[in-house]
Amino acid sequence: MPELPEVETTCRGIHPHIIQRRVKKVTVRNPSLRWPVEPQLPKLLSGKTLLSLTRRGKYLIFDFGNRFVLWHLGMSGSLRIVKPNEAIKTHDHVDIHFDNNNILRYHDPRRFGAVVYTTEPPLDHKLLSDLGPEPLSENFTAEHLFQRSRKIQQPVKSWIMNSKVVVGVGNIYANESLFNAGIHPLSPAKKISRQRYDIFYQEIVNVLSNAIQRGGTTLRDFVGGDGKPGYFAQELHVYGRGGHPCTTCGKPLTEKVVAQRATVYCTNCQKR
C-alpha cells in the first residue's frame, strides 16, 4: 500500500484526530516488526501529548516532546483511527489510545514496517539523516538528478528508487514516471542527458502530485474505516500491465525483473 502518496494520505487522514491529544495507553500485541518495538514504549509514551505529526519520505514522525516515534509502514502496513469498540483483527499489532477516545491502530500482515522510538532529533536519526530531498520540495531539481547520476552505471530505474537520491519513488512510480518520460528503465543513470533529466524530473513530480491528489479522494472514507486505498489502479500506464498493449503505440509491454523488482516498459516508446 504505501508509496509516498499513501503515506501522505495517512498523515493527513489521522492528523486531525490525534494532534494535541494526550496518550492514555499504548498496546503492543506483537513487537516483532522490522526491528523489535521498544519494550518500554507504553511507559515512555503514556501521559505525553502528541505535539506534531509530520512526514519525511515514507516515514511518519510523531513528536511527543523530546520523545519521538518514527513509523514506517513497510510493504503492507496501514494506520487508521478507530473507536474503542472496534474489533481487533489478526495483524493489528499496535494501538495508541488518546484521551479523546480515538485509537491509532497499526495493521501490518507482513511486518516489514517499523515503530522506532528515539529521543534524538528525528532528522538526525540514522534512518532519516541520509535521505535525499522530498520530491515535491524545491530541493528536488533536474540539476540534482543530473549531477548525482554522473558516475552511476546502475540502471536508472533502480537508482531512482534509492531513497538517498530522492525519497518516495517506489516501484509503481518509478515505472510510471520513466514511461511518461520516454526513458528506458535499463539505461545507466549516467548515460541520460541533462535535457532528459528535465523531463524525468517533471514526470516524477507530476505522477506523485497526481497520486497525492487522488489519495485525497480516498481521504474522505479513510477514517470511516474503509482503509482500502484504490486511487492508483486506473491511470497506470505500465505497472502491472506486462504483455498488454502500450497505451501510446499499442506494442506489447515488456516485463523484466530488475534488481528484484518487476519492471515494465515499452521498447518502442522508451529509449536508452
Partner DNA sequence: CGAGCAACCTGCATGC
Partner DNA sequence: TGCATGCAGGTTGCTC
Strands 23-28 and 103-107 turn out to be unpaired
Q: Which of 58, 80, 214, 241 is catalytic?
A: 58
Kindly identify the residues of this chain, within the stretch 144-203, that bind DNA according to CB under 7 A.
151-155, 158-159, 161, 163, 170-172
Q: Kindly report the backbone phi and psi dihedral angles of residue 133, in degrees, each rounded to the nearest multiple of 5, phi listed first.
A: -65, 155
Q: Does the annotation count 261 as an active-site position?
A: yes
Q: Does the annotation count 2 as an active-site position?
A: yes
Q: Is 72 near DNA (CB under 7 A)?
A: yes
Give me the 19-58 binding string for DNA, x by CB under 7 A, dash otherwise: -------------x-x----------------------xx
Q: How many Cα atoms within 13 Å fall on the side-chain side of residue 2?
A: 26
Q: Does the annotation count 133 as an active-site position?
A: no
Q: Kindly report the backbone phi and psi dihedral angles of residue 61, in degrees, each rounded to the nearest multiple of 5, phi listed first.
A: -115, 115
Q: Is 262 near DNA (CB under 7 A)?
A: yes
Q: Does the annotation count 228 as an active-site position?
A: no
Residue type present at position 127 = L
- Our CB check for DNA shows the closer of 141 and 171 to be 171
List, in order, residues 6 or more apart from 51 with CB less than 8 Å away. Answer: 20, 63, 64, 65
List, in order, residues 6 or more apart from 263 with CB less than 8 Å away. Answer: 157, 175, 185, 186, 255, 256, 257
Among 192, 229, 253, 265, interactor with DNA by CB under 7 A: 229
Residues near DNA (CB under 7 A) are 1-3, 6, 32, 34, 57-58, 72, 74-76, 90-91, 109-112, 127, 151-155, 158-159, 161, 163, 170-172, 229, 232, 257, 259-262
Active-site residues, by number, are: 2-3, 58, 261
